[in-house]
Structure 1
């Protein structure tokens, strides 16, 4: 009888161990700055190159225009990283990101033909509407195109 009781107690203890195991609290998971959904943002040069490649393909840019777009996109991506890394509050960062996006848009307007810029604006509007956003095609944000 005593052995049956001992085996039953041992069995109960073994079965309850998994429920007693502790998981790491969410607050101990390291947060990476400049991330989206837990993924680290790519290097500014990589982001600028991807954006340039996409624009070259979809807008039919020539080599010289493509190089100008890359230079502007690289500067934009580097500024975004600097803004995101700053200790400023979110409102200040949002204003800086908006100013950066407006500057980028103005520079693109000077590089692209009017037809290419119209297509670019339409591409941005299409991407926003695909995410469920209701923003108009001519408003700006900090997304990569």
Structure 2
């Protein structure tokens, strides 16, 4: 546990040190979208993303400090593994599908072991709502009656 935290701290300091070592700011006139998210802010630091996601989850599910730390480590490890898979397979998502599915199942099982049954049930419900399940009934199809 301590080794993992020390490794994460060293990684964070190394990343922070290299980001401040830039000699001149890049000047561009257009925003370039570097990721699929909102805005043109570019890719985020995996450690910051893991911290943000764990904090949000702690707030929504009522995690204690120990659970939040474990969830943050889990998210960071998952992001690093996903980056490795993206580097390995590139844009060929079909080739990576089985490894990605196995990775997802592994992390879901680890998350389930960290959370209480009530917290996991709430998390599962939030996932479904986020994906759009429960928002529309009948597979998203709506019937429109024609006026006579």
TM bin, normalised by shorter chain, reads 0.5 to 0.7
**In 2, Cα distance between equivalents of 1:110 and 1:125:** 20
**In 1, Cα distance between equivalents of 2:115 and 2:99:** 24
Post-superposition CA distance 1:43-65 (Å, at most 9, x none): 21112111101110000000011
Aligned mate of 2:81, from 79, 92, 109: 79
RMSD: 2.6
1:101 to 2:101 alignment? no
Secondary structure of the residue aligned to 2:63 is: coil
1:59 to 2:61 alignment? yes
Q: How many Å apart are 1:94 and its aligned residue? A: 2.4
Secondary structure of the residue aligned to 1:41 is: coil
Q: How many residues align?
A: 102
- Tell which structure's C-alpha radius of gyration is larger: 1
CA contact (8 A) 2:71 2:111 kept: yes
Post-superposition CA distance 1:40-97 (Å, at most 9, x none): 3322111211110111000000001111111111100111111112235321222222
**In 2, Cα distance between equivalents of 1:36 and 1:76:** 18
TM-score when scaled to structure 1?
A: 0.61
1:1-145 matches, within 5 Å, as 35-36=35-36, 40-87=42-89, 89-129=92-132
Cα 1:55–1:133 change in 2 (3 A) is: farther
**In 1, Cα distance between equivalents of 2:46 and 2:107:** 15
